[in-house]
Amino acid sequence: MTTTQDAVLPSRSAAHAPPPGRVTIEPVRPSHRWSPPRPVRRAAGPIGTLLLWWLLSAVGVLSPEVLASPATVFGKALSMIADGELPTAIAVSGQRVVLGFLIGGVVGTALALVAGLLRLGEDLVDSTVGMFRTLPWVGLIPLFIIWFGINEEPKIALIALGVTFPIYFNIYAGIRGVDAQLVEAGRVLGLRRWGLIRHVVLPGALPGALVGLRYALGTAWLALVWAEQVNASQGIGYLMNNAQQFFQTDVIVVCLVTYAVLGLLCDLAVRVLSRYALSWRASFEGA
């Protein structure tokens, strides 16, 4: 098979035929074909999707009842900002996230410190948290309503619960991941228990803690979406529920985009914080 193909190769190859067992590396010039810059290429997908959406709406394939056109959504967003409806909703929802996040963050951190720093704490806390972790927290909404009523409390409790676990697991893993050799060096240098915790264990757990923070913020916004489906009279979820009654898909999309943007902003903030707080780290930063 191969031999027959070799025989019919163009004569150019035959003229420069390498000795048997050798291969000639054909020189290739770098192509100078123009290619769009990387950010443009990266933006092409989202913008293309947006264009497709706009096109489908314009030709009538997507009716406004199914999905409002991007132009309508944008206009609606502007008017909702102008009349203060969206900023108010963001403020109310933001307050829920901040409160829930603070409560969950404090509880998660406290549990992680107890379990991470003390062996007794690990025995008592870790399996217990592991047990509660497996509860589907979204499924707890009915119970939370019975316990906390239908006002702000069940919403904040749900967010706090969603935040507790990523904070707990990442800080706990961070503490237990600290290099034992460094702890030993700290002991030799004369650090006592609190000195070791402050100068060795906690800074060593920081990278893990920041991963937990990023994850927890994502969960906080997700929990908010669920929580605001429960009898909200204010907030982004309330706007969405309201819009659903009147088939206002433009408002629904504005609300969804708002959730996404707020989540992205939180993520960005943690990434900036990480870059600053972990500047000592000598780890792989991507090729």
Partner 1 sequence: MTAVTTSTDTAAVSIRGLRKQFGERAVIDGLDLDVAPGEFVALLGRSGCGKSTLLRILAGLDSEIDGLVTVPGRRAVAFQAPRLMPWKRVWQNVVLGLAGRPDRALAQRYLDEVGLSAKTTVWPKTLSGGEAQRVSLARALVREPELLLLDEPFGALDALTRVKAQQLVADLWARHECAVLLVTHDVEEALLLADRVLVMDGGVIAHEVPVALPRPRQIDHPTLVRLRTELLGRLGIVEPSRSARPGDAA
Interface residues with partner 1 (CB under 8 A) are 181-182, 184-191, 195, 199-200, 203-204, 206, 279-282
Nearer to partner 1, 103 or 182 (CB): 182
97 and 224 Cβ atoms separated by less than 8 Å: yes
Least Å distance, CB 203 to partner 1, is: 4
In degrees, rounded to 5, the angle at the alpha carbon of residue 100 between the alpha carbons of residues 97 and 105 is 115
Query: What distance in Å separates the CA atoms of residue 197 and residue 183, rounded to the nearest whole number?
Result: 9
Contacts of 75 (CB under 8 A, 6+ apart): none
Least Å distance, CB 163 to partner 1, is: 25
Least Å distance, CB 190 to partner 1, is: 4
Dihedral in degrees, nearest 10, Cα atoms 69, 45, 265, 87: -10
Least Å distance, CB 201 to partner 1, is: 11
Query: What distance in Å separates the CA atoms of residue 135 and residue 145, rounded to the nearest whole number?
Result: 17
Nearer to partner 1, 145 or 173 (CB): 173
Least Å distance, CB 185 to partner 1, is: 4
SS3 content of the chain, % helix, strand, coil (to 5): 75, 0, 25
Nearer to partner 1, 156 or 200 (CB): 200
249 and 64 Cβ atoms separated by less than 8 Å: yes
Nearer to partner 1, 99 or 183 (CB): 183
Nearer to partner 1, 59 or 180 (CB): 180
